[in-house]
Amino acid sequence: MQHVYIIGSKGIPARYGGYETFVEKLTAGQQSSDIKYHVASRRDNTELSKNNDTFEYNGAEIFSIDVPNIGSAQAIAYDIKALKWAIQNSKDIKAETPIFYILAARMGPFIGKYVKQIHALNGTYYINPDGHEWKRAKWPLPVRKYWKISERGMIKHADMVVCDNRKIEEYIQNDYGSYKPNTTFIAYGTDTTPSSLNRNDSTVENWFREKNIQENNYYLIVGRFVPENNYETMIREFMNSDSKKDLVIITNVEKNKFYQKLLQSTEFDKDKRIKFVGTVYDQPLLRYIRENAFAYIHGHEVGGTNPSLLESLSSTQLNLLVDVGFNRDVAHDAAIYWTKENGHLAKGINKADQYSVKQLSENEQKAKKIIFNEYTWNNIVNKYEVLFG
């Protein structure tokens, strides 16, 4: 039996988040009977974690970890405590060649001594470094510096670096070449099942009526409300376009400093087309909203393979993507690309508005083919089982 310890997600059952969804799909879609997953879960993740030290879910053993409330260092403390538990458990059950798979590069300054313990067990340490966390504007400068130092430590000691985007793999090989990292590319996945809802469902009717939106008459943005997702550029450029359609923004908007700065710099409140509609946690409804958008605008530029991008390629007929290597690596020629240069996205929106039914259909089929060939969860689970096997 191959024992695999997964550390770094908040845990499963998943409530939100890319890593959480990944672990949920990996365990739920398990094919091999030769792998036993052990997944760390924060005690506050779910009622199951709150009330049980360990429990079974999707055939995996979930172990609950208490995390002290120490601010921004909480995630680091969680990873370290989870790794300690995993190492001890592998000793207790006498696992022969355990794999310790850590999601996100948070504990680089501390990882060395734990890797020695892992190797003493005849185990191996795998890391998924995610995207360029050290570039995220939401972090203050000292935290961004820590992320970069931590990433270096995590890569230096890794037996295997799993990259969810080929551009991330290139970056690891180029920036950390002196460590001769052993890397592999396994993407993130996405669901391809169409929404179970139709336009006559009360959930759909109520949402569209309440938001004053019409099917196929809006551009859509879905994502975290943070500066590096380029909200300012997308909103300003849409306002400068000639489009008669709406811009529907699904995000966890709070009227914080970023929101006020955005309002001041763009005055989007004076444009009736710009509609912040809050969050949508109902997945069939969110899928329906994606499927019935005229086009999707994607401004994420610091991640690897972004879940929201995969969802849009699998469900929205046309995608306008910020022109960075991560996005081109996924979408290839099945998208309109835009830069942050003044007027560039506005021209892309005007161009999209002129697409014929045939062009829209051809683009949609091209995007869905990419998803089907490379990014279904079944495909991703199979690749992981080969890696762990």
DSSP string, 324-381: -HHHHHHHTTSSEEE-SSTTHHHHHHHHHHT--HHHHHHHHHHHHHHHHHH-BHHHHH
The pLDDT of residue 69 is 86
List pLDDT tens digits, range 286-304.
999 999 999 999 999 877 7
The pLDDT of residue 166 is 93
The pLDDT of residue 132 is 66
List pLDDT tens digits, range 223-274.
988 888 999 999 999 999 999 999 999 998 876 788 899 999 999 999 999 9
Q: Are 111 and 220 found together in one domain? A: no
**Residue 334: inside a domain:** yes
**Residue 381: inside a domain:** no
The pLDDT of residue 14 is 86
**Domain end (from 156, 185, 214):** 185
Q: Are 180 and 225 found together in one domain? A: no
Average pLDDT across the chain, whole number: 94
**Domain end (from 137, 160, 185):** 185
Give the integer Cα–Cα distance in Å for 78 and 110: 13
Contact 8, 75 (CB under 8 A): no
Contact 189, 377 (CB under 8 A): yes
The three state secondary structure string of 149-193 is: HHHHHHHHCCCEEEECCHHHHHHHHHHCHHHCCCEEECCCCECCC
Cα within 13 Å of Cα(113), Cβ side: 5
Local confidence band at 329 (pLDDT 50, 70, 90 cut-offs): very high
Least reliable range by pLDDT among 43-47, 133-137, 144-148, 249-253: 133-137
Local confidence band at 149 (pLDDT 50, 70, 90 cut-offs): very high
Contact 216, 292 (CB under 8 A): yes
Q: Are 138 and 207 found together in one domain? A: no
The pLDDT of residue 85 is 98
* pLDDT value at 388 more than 80: yes
Q: Are 78 and 147 found together in one domain? A: yes
Q: Pick from 58, 70, 61: which is nearest to 41 by CA?
A: 61
Q: Are 262 and 294 found together in one domain? A: yes
Q: Which residues does 89 contact at the CB level (< 8 Å), separation at least 6?
A: 5, 38, 63, 95
Displacement of CA 336 from its chain's centroid (Å): 21
The pLDDT of residue 134 is 61
The CATH number linked to 160 is 3.40.50.2000
**Residue 154: inside a domain:** yes
* pLDDT value at 140 more than 90: no
Give the integer Cα–Cα distance in Å for 363 and 276: 27
**Domain end (from 152, 185, 218):** 185
Give the integer Cα–Cα distance in Å for 273 and 168: 36
* pLDDT value at 137 more than 70: no
Q: For residue 223, what are the domain limits?
A: 202-374
Give the integer Cα–Cα distance in Å for 389 and 227: 40
**Residue 238: inside a domain:** yes
Q: Are 366 and 218 found together in one domain? A: yes
* pLDDT value at 29 more than 70: yes
Sign of the alpha-carbon torsion through 217, 222, 228, 231: positive
Task: Give me 100's structure tokens.
Answer: 């310790």
Q: Domain count for the chain, please give it.
A: 2
Q: Are 179 and 227 found together in one domain? A: no
More confident residue, 18 or 131: 18
* pLDDT value at 160 more than 90: yes
The pLDDT of residue 138 is 67
- Would you tell me how many other CB atoms lie within 10 Å of the CB of residue 386? 11
Cα angle for residues 137, 142, 145 (degrees, 5° grid): 80
* pLDDT value at 133 more than 80: no
Map tokens 């045939």 to a residue: 358
The pLDDT of residue 205 is 97
- Give, to the nearest 10 degrees, the angle between helix 357-374 and helix 307-315: 130
Task: Record the pTM.
Answer: 0.91
- Say if strands 295-298 and 218-222 run parallel, antiparallel, or are unpaired: parallel
Percentage of the chain exceeding pLDDT 70: 97
The pLDDT of residue 290 is 98
* pLDDT value at 72 more than 80: no
Map tokens 């059952």 to a residue: 13
- Would you tell me how many other CB atoms lie within 10 Å of the CB of residue 196? 11
**Residue 190: inside a domain:** no
Chain length of the chain: 389
* pLDDT value at 153 more than 80: yes
Q: Are 171 and 256 found together in one domain? A: no
Q: Are 176 and 304 found together in one domain? A: no
The side-by-side arrangement of strands in the sheet containing 319-322 is 274-278, 246-250, 218-222, 295-298, 319-322, 336-338
